[in-house]
């Protein structure tokens, strides 16, 4: 009994000596252990599923580079798809792509022309076995079973680091967003202010992202009325409706109060996942084969520093390169043929005649 009391006393003393710096370190360690446990659990589930599959009739394992696909025997053109996908995956993840040898895809093709039950494989992606190679390659690229990034990187990016399937179209969409986003930071970035590009990409370490991303009263009011009017009007039985009405009437204090009441992480960033993903891809391209490894190897560092370390250039140089590529992706303007306006006038006249002949316009 006495020894138990001494043990409790020693435990309390050791806990009391933890410094403020120890708590984040221990939290990060706990998060890392949780991620490893989840990965081990997923691997165990996959092994169990594969054992059931082998007992039911065997599997095929397709190997292309470090890429592995475990599948049931079928005519599906998975090997050709893997041959297309692997160079893209390898160029993006570099040396880290080798972990895919231990993280196989699990794909269960099925016959689309039969009513027999589809093959049931726990955790498997089901696809018709007559799917074309391009579609299968896209499937492989959008579901790469690479290890999930740390929470900080994933939260900033808004998802995992994956290949960009249509990079030209994605950059063009970001160009349009820079022009149309209801954020002064995005518009200033469009005009060439690199510091505002950093803000629009959420690379700053400001303790007040609301002021950083939406510094003017007009931006805050537009954000509330366009994006959160329904939320504030109906949440908590309409408790926010008076403040919403005041915000709509021009009260910046009410708009700011409403936006600050949003749950953590709910305040929309000026730019979307596509913009941040483009920045990550540029960093990985500049940094070479070890860039992705460097990016994920320092989870405790600020995102801006991690991207700069991965790219091997300064943050401002990286962001400037990103802006240059986005500006170069400006969508081509739509040009009308010379006869276009005349055709429009002609159709307008036709519709006008039809409308006038309608019985609705006749005087009885």
What domain range includes position 176?
153-214+270-328
pLDDT tens per residue across span 315-346: 999 999 999 999 999 987 655 556 556 566 66
Closest CA to 221 of 247, 258, 195: 247
- Same-domain check for residues 114 and 193: no
Evaluate if residue 310 carries a pLDDT over 70. Answer: yes
Give dist(CA 182, CA 48) in Å, integer: 50
Encode burial over 96-125: b for 16+ CB neighbours within 10 A, e otherwise.
bbeebeebbbbbbbbeeeeeeeebebeebe
Task: Give the residue from 92, 119, 142 where a domain finishes.
Answer: 142
- Same-domain check for residues 116 and 163: no
- Same-domain check for residues 128 and 102: yes
Q: Is residue 352 part of a domain?
A: no
Closest CA to 319 of 310, 329, 330, 307: 307
Number of domains composing the chain: 2
Evaluate if residue 17 carries a pLDDT over 60. Answer: no
Out of 28-32, 174-178, 252-256, pick the least confident.
28-32
- Same-domain check for residues 200 and 69: no
Q: Is residue 63 part of a domain?
A: yes
Q: Is residue 92 part of a domain?
A: yes
- Same-domain check for residues 284 and 316: yes
pLDDT tens per residue across span 71-104: 989 999 999 999 999 999 999 999 999 999 999 9
**Do 175 and 327 touch, CB atoms closer than 8 A?**
yes
Out of 10-14, 243-247, 312-316, pick the least confident.
10-14
**Do 184 and 216 touch, CB atoms closer than 8 A?**
yes
pLDDT at 54: 45
- Same-domain check for residues 66 and 133: yes
- Same-domain check for residues 205 and 134: no
Through-space distance between the first and last CA atoms of the chain, rounded to whole angstroms:
106
- Same-domain check for residues 209 and 309: yes
pLDDT tens per residue across span 139-177: 999 999 998 889 999 999 998 999 999 999 999 999 999
pLDDT at 12: 41
- Same-domain check for residues 184 and 285: yes
**Do 112 and 75 touch, CB atoms closer than 8 A?**
no
Mean pLDDT along residues 40-53: 53
pLDDT tens per residue across span 204-223: 877 888 988 898 999 999 99
pLDDT at 95: 95
């Amino acid at each position: 009994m006495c020894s138990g009391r001494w043990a409790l006393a020693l435990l309390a003393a050791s806990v009391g000596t933890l410094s403020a710096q120890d708590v984040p370190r221990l939290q990060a360690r706990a998060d890392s252990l949780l991620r490893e446990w989840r990965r081990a659990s997923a691997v165990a589930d996959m092994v169990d599923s594969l054992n059931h599959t082998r007992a039911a009739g065997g599997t095929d394992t397709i190997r292309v580079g470090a890429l592995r696909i475990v599948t049931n025997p079928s005519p599906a053109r998975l090997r050709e798809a893997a041959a297309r996908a692997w160079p893209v995956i390898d160029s993006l993840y570099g040396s880290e792509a080798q972990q895919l040898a231990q993280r196989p895809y699990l794909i269960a093709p099925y016959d689309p022309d039969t009513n027999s039950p589809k093959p049931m494989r726990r955790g498997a992606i089901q696809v018709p076995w007559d799917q074309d190679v391009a579609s299968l390659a896209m499937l492989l690229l959008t579901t790469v079973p690479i290890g999930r990034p740390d929470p900080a990187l994933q939260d900033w990016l808004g998802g995992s680091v994956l290949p960009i399937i249509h990079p030209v179209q994605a950059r063009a969409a970001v160009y349009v967003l820079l022009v149309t986003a209801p954020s002064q930071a995005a518009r200033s970035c469009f005009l060439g202010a690199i510091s505002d590009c950093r803000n629009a990409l959420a690379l700053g370490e400001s303790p007040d992202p609301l002021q950083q991303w939406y510094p003017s009263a007009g931006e805050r009011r537009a954000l509330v009325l366009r994006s959160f009017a329904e939320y504030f009007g109906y949440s908590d039985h309409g408790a926010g409706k008076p403040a919403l009405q005041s915000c709509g009437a021009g009260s910046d204090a009410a708009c700011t109060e409403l936006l600050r009441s949003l749950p953590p992480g709910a305040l929309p960033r000026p730019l979307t996942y596509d913009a941040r993903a483009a920045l990550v891809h540029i960093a990985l391209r500049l940094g070479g084969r070890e860039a992705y490894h460097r990016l994920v190897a320092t989870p405790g560092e600020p995102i801006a520093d991690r991207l700069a370390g991965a790219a091997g250039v300064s943050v401002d140089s990286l962001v400037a390169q990103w802006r240059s590529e986005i500006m170069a992706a400006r969508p081509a303007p739509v040009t009308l043929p010379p006869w276009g306006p005349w055709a429009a006038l002609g159709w307008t006249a036709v519709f006008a005649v039809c409308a006038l002949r309608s019985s609705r316009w006749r005087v009885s």
